[in-house]
Amino acid sequence: MESDGSEHAQGEAVPMTQERDVAITALIPAYNEEKAIGRVIEDAKRYVQSVVVVDDGSSDGTVNVALSAGATVLRHAKNLGYGSALATGFTYFRNNGGGIMIVLDGDGQHNPSDIPRLVKPVIDGQADVVIGSRFMDGEAKADMPRYRRFGIGVVNRAWKIASGEEVTDTQCGFRAYSRDAVEKMEIKETNMSASLEILNQAGAKNLRVVEVPVSVNYHGNSSSTEPGRHGMELINYVVRKLREEHPLLIFGGTGIALAFAGLVFGVVALNSYFDTRYLPFGPTVLSGALLYLGTLMVFGGLILNSIQTLANRIEGRK
């Protein structure tokens, strides 16, 4: 049965377990994780009342292993991406009760024994979204491969510029959500950038976000998403956020840079003219084009910024 690109295993319209109104539900997006998913489910069941696996079009035995371990399995007919798997899980949670939802990876990197630490701020009424941070645990940070530390650090800094929010680990998929947070979020990003979209929506909807330290295991299976593609998806989302929410910074800054480059080429052209009485074609044309494009971008940024300011004022009056 098809629904939003997903179907229940065996084509049924209801999940394969009948638990309802559970206190804590563990959501595990999975793609070809048959080697680790069974152990992850078994360990998670010690701390939660039900486990839901969203199989994102796996071609291996992920579904059968998850079912054998006692999880509810929701299936995508084909691989749609991490964000789509989260969206399916969020929809299931909204429709099937539960007070807190935990999200963890199916590859064994996250330690289910950290679940109590993640849910505590939600239970205590201190947070709506809890992010597991690998950078608050010295051992976890030291164990992280250098390329991951570098890439996450770049995204963290870019996110701070784009949103003004200080988050030590924007990319950890080990998170806890209150029912209110799940009800208010609508995940549209289909890929790994959904992790940033969630932070963006949390800020826009005034949800309380806190971070807690978590451990991580990089010695088992690694993420099925290529690091390069993952990084580009995240940077693309940050750039889009900057463009939409800070047009003056993006367009104005780029325009000023282009105009400055045009001035440099203009100086080169003038120096050549004073020395030879001949105006070089290349630098002259390039100078004019860069100055023209830079000026357009600066004015475009100013106009877009004015439109955004007006829209924010209108939204604030509603």
pLDDT tens digits, one per residue of 46-60: 999 999 999 999 999
27 with 171, same domain? yes
Supply the pLDDT for residue 44.
95
Which of 263, 262, 260, 254 is CA-nearest to residue 298? 254
* Domain shared by 189 and 301, yes or no: no
Q: Which residue has the higher pLDDT, 54 or 143?
A: 54
**pLDDT top residue among 172 and 314:** 172
pLDDT over threshold 90, residue 166: no
Q: Are residues 121 and 106 in the same domain?
A: yes
pLDDT of residue 233: 64
Residue 29 lies in a domain: yes
**Last residue of some domain: 244, 270, 297?**
244
**CB of 261 closer than 8 Å to CB of 210:** no
Among residues 253, 241, 238, the alpha carbon closest in space to that of 301 is found at 253
Buried/exposed code over 254-265 (b: 16+ C-beta within 10 A; e: otherwise): bbeebbebbeeb
- The predicted pLDDT at position 43 comes to 95
Tell me: do 126 and 47 sit in the same domain: yes
Using the 3D structure, point to which of 198, 215, 244 is the last residue of a domain.
244
Whether residues 140 and 222 share a domain: the answer is yes
Q: Looking at residue 262, what is its pLDDT?
A: 85
Whether residue 217 sits in one domain with residue 290 = no
Q: Is residue 305 part of a domain?
A: yes
CA distance 259 to 27: 50
Going by pLDDT thresholds of 50, 70 and 90, the confidence category of residue 246 is low
Between the alpha carbon of residue 258 and those of residues 6, 38, 181, 255, 289, the distances in Å are: 46, 55, 43, 5, 9
Instruction: Calculate the dihedral angle through the C-alpha atoms of 105, 109, 113, 114, rounding to the nearest 10 degrees.
Output: -80
Tell me the C-alpha distance between 48 and 280, whole Å: 73
Q: Which domain holds residue 311?
A: 247-317
Measured distance CA(61)–CA(58) in Å, rounded: 8
269 and 165 inside one domain: no
Residue bearing the bigger pLDDT, 253 or 311: 253
Q: Which pLDDT value is given to residue 73?
A: 96
Indicate whether 67 and 101 sit together in one domain.
Answer: yes
In this structure, the answer to whether residues 198 and 276 fall within a common structural domain is no
Terminal CA-CA length for the chain: 41
> pLDDT band at residue 176, thresholds of 50, 70 and 90?
very high
Residue 139 has pLDDT above 80, yes or no: no
Mean pLDDT, rounded, of the chain: 81
Tokens of 154: 């770049």
Please state the rounded mean pLDDT for residues 118-133: 94
Token pair 């999940």 in the structure block, residue: 15
Higher pLDDT, 316 or 88: 88
Question: Do 270 and 147 share a structural domain?
Answer: no
Task: State the pLDDT at residue 33.
Answer: 94
The percent of residues above 70 in pLDDT, for the chain, comes to: 75
Phi and psi torsions of 103, nearest 5° = -115, 130
Judged against a pLDDT cut of 60, whether residue 315 lies above it is answered with: no
Lookup: tokens for 194: 């959904």
CA R_g for the chain? 24
The amino acid sitting at 298 is: V
| pTM (two decimals) | 0.69
The reply to whether 234 and 273 lie within a common domain is: no
pLDDT per residue over 7-64, tens digit each?
544 333 334 333 333 489 999 999 999 999 999 999 999 999 999 999 999 999 999 9
Lowest-confidence pick of 2-16, 117-131, 259-273, 291-305: 2-16
pLDDT band at 298 (very low <50, low <70, confident <90, very high): confident
Tell me, what's the pLDDT at 217? Answer: 81
Q: Which two tokens stand for residue 282?
A: 């290349």
Q: What is the pLDDT of residue 283?
A: 84
**Could you tell me which residues come within 8 angstroms of residue 213 by beta carbon, excluding any fewer than 6 positions away?**
117, 132, 133, 134, 136, 137, 140
pLDDT at 98 over 70: yes
The DSSP H or E segment spanning 153 is helix 146-163
* Predicted confidence (pLDDT) at residue 78 exceeds the cutoff of 80: yes
How many domains would you assign to the chain?
2
